[in-house]
Amino acid sequence: MVLSRLWTIPSKLRTTGSYFAVAGQPRRAQQRGHPFVSLGQQDERRIIELAEVRSVHTVVELGAGTGGTTRAILSALPLSATLMSIESNPQFCGLLRRIPDARLIVHCGSAQELRETLSLYGLPAPEAVVSGIPFSTMDRVAGARILEACQRSLL
């Protein structure tokens, strides 16, 4: 099911009460050579709504970038919940660590080791995974590994 710039993967993950949402980059921005695109407030609200962020305890954000969507998730996240943002770019990790919110855990590393990363921080399986990773521009094998890691962590 395609919803503007937001794709969802319902399959059997939906029946377990888990949710996986992927935010993709617009093709126009990719064609212009932009390394990343910030989502607008409307897109961020849509992600929060579809991932049901307001009613979960643990959310994982993949490819958090500079933190725009991170801040939007935190604004909707219950006070007792946790958001773990995984980013592979060390500079972006530095920016994310400046966000003053005790609910936020920033992990600088690969999304391919999601289950191990959750374990490292003592976190349970997430009820929602939100991704800003540009799957359309990355190696298919790496993308498939990330999706498999997400599926394993949600089940």
More reliable by pLDDT, 59 or 143: 59
Domain range list for the chain: 2-154
Q: pLDDT exceeding 90 applies to what percent of the chain? A: 41
Residue 11's alpha-carbon distances to 15, 86, 100, in angstroms, are 8, 24, 36
pLDDT in tens, 56-84: 899 999 999 889 889 999 999 999 999 99
- Token pair of 114 as six digits: 């999601």
Looking at domain 2-154, which CATH architecture does it have?
A: 3-Layer(aba) Sandwich (3.40)
